Amino acid sequence: MQVSVETTKGLERRMTVSIPEEQVSEGVQSRLKRLARTVKLSGFRPGKVPMKIVQQQYGSDVRREVVGDLMQSTFYEAVTQEKLAPAGMPTLEPKSMEIGAGLEYVATFEVLPEVKPAKLDGVKIDKPVVEVTEADVDVVIETIRKQKVDWKEIKRAAKDGDRVTIDFHGTVDGEDFGGNKGEGMPVILGEGRMIKGFEEGLKGAKSGVDLTLDLTFPEDYGSDDVAGKPVQFAIKVKTVEEAVLPEVTDELAKDFGIEAGTVEGLRAEVRQNMERELGLRLAAKIKQNVMDKLVEINKIDIPKALIEEEAKRMAAQMQQQMGEQLKGTELPGAMFEEQANKRVALGLLLSEMISENEFKAEPDKLRARVEEIASTYDKPEDVVNYYYSDKKRLAELESLVLEDTVVDWVLQQAKVNELKTSFDEIMNRA
């Protein structure tokens, strides 16, 4: 087998492979002999058809099959011989396959880039620093109180935060439309769940009054029949109620299953949960900052084949996650190319950094990661067994542990810029 390689552009390579006729003929004859044992032709018993006739009948087809198989098998022999690392599937085109001329074909493919991670001396990476304050705990306690809200009917005019129960009848150009009527519908003012102007129109209303609201459906409204059109709602206000929140007492703590049954126990558990959630979010944010910085300081020429493969994979994942919402719609891979480019670049970088530094997924760190995940379930031991009983699942976590190892190493090498951040900001809470 003779091999020659030329660089066409960037990462693309054009490899010409020549295979002697002897190797092709040997493959053809071997396959014809196997075929002769089972071939059936009129006038001959099965397996007794003369080889010459089998050659005449099937020789051309068999040669094509052998040539196809040889191109596939010798391609990988050739790239190994030339010490090339293909990225994606090659395009194989036969140049010569006539009997007696041997086989010559051209393989066009991209190769993986040579990755040399940039030095981290002087590189700055932001690391948010957050402390859970008593005020942060108060906000969560307030949310807990709202979960136990009671509603008390009032005589005063409705304002933000009140619940107004209404009957309504909407018309567009004097005509009914789908979903235009409702009875006993509760609307909490200020939540912004209705179309613009609806909740504002109920402010100041009292129980028993009738209102007419002249509004306009937004252009992007879910129903094309009424989107962007003026609508008139005839409304009867049945009740106006104000929210009554429970006091923060030991009784409230008991209602939420706090073992200690005290306000102090409630606050302690709330803080513990907040700090656990914060720790996970901080780790994810810091990891993202490190990954973004690695992509920024390492400019890598990425094979188009890998970007296309990753973009298709991302499109398929989104399709699966959205389910019925995207049923009948095929997402184009092109819309994911930018993100796919970044993912592939990171994959190549991390792989090289792990290899270069001989990082390993240490068993104790892997166990800690499994137990961290398991701790959020009712039966942690079942979750631990779930991971350790399947090598594939465990391998996925090993990859995450290796990524975390790289992150820790990068933070040790780079200049870390600590940024004091609020709990709300890091948790993306309004």
pLDDT in tens, 354-385: 999 999 999 999 999 999 899 889 899 999 99
Is 259 among the domain residues?
Answer: no
Q: pLDDT value at position 328?
A: 67
Q: Do 288 and 176 belong together in one domain?
A: no
Q: Do 105 and 8 belong together in one domain?
A: yes
Q: Do 221 and 303 belong together in one domain?
A: no
Is 332 among the domain residues?
Answer: yes
**Distance (Å, rounded) from C-alpha 141 to C-alpha 108?**
63
Of 111, 141, 176, the residue that ends a domain is 111
Count structural domains, the chain. Answer: 3
Task: Kindly report the backbone phi and psi dihedral angles of residue 257, in degrees, each rounded to the nearest multiple of 5, phi listed first.
Answer: 70, 25
Task: Specify the CATH number for the domain of residue 186.
Answer: 3.10.50.40
- SS3 of residue 430 by DSSP: coil
**Distance (Å, rounded) from C-alpha 146 to C-alpha 114?**
57
Q: Do 104 and 16 belong together in one domain?
A: yes
Q: pLDDT value at position 303?
A: 92
Rounded average pLDDT over 9-20 = 94
Under the banding of pLDDT at 50, 70 and 90, the label for residue 403 is: very high
Of 244, 273, 297, the residue that ends a domain is 244
Q: What mean pLDDT value characterizes the chain?
A: 91
- Is the CB of residue 383 less than 8 Å from the CB of residue 394? no
Q: Do 393 and 291 belong together in one domain?
A: yes
Under the banding of pLDDT at 50, 70 and 90, the label for residue 272 is: very high
Rounded average pLDDT over 338-343 = 93
Higher pLDDT, 53 or 299: 299
Q: Do 292 and 396 belong together in one domain?
A: yes
> 86-96 and 163-171: which strand pairing?
unpaired
Q: Do 190 and 314 belong together in one domain?
A: no
pLDDT for 4 beyond 90: yes
Rounded average pLDDT over 326-334 = 75
pLDDT in tens, 168-199: 999 999 999 988 999 999 999 999 999 999 99
Q: Do 287 and 415 belong together in one domain?
A: yes
Q: Do 29 and 100 belong together in one domain?
A: yes
Q: Do 164 and 100 belong together in one domain?
A: no
Task: Specify the CATH number for the domain of residue 366.
Answer: 1.10.3120.10
Under the banding of pLDDT at 50, 70 and 90, the label for residue 310 is: very high
CB atoms near residue 346 (< 10 Å): 17
Is 267 among the domain residues?
Answer: no
What is the chain's length?
430
* Domain housing 369: 124-131+282-426
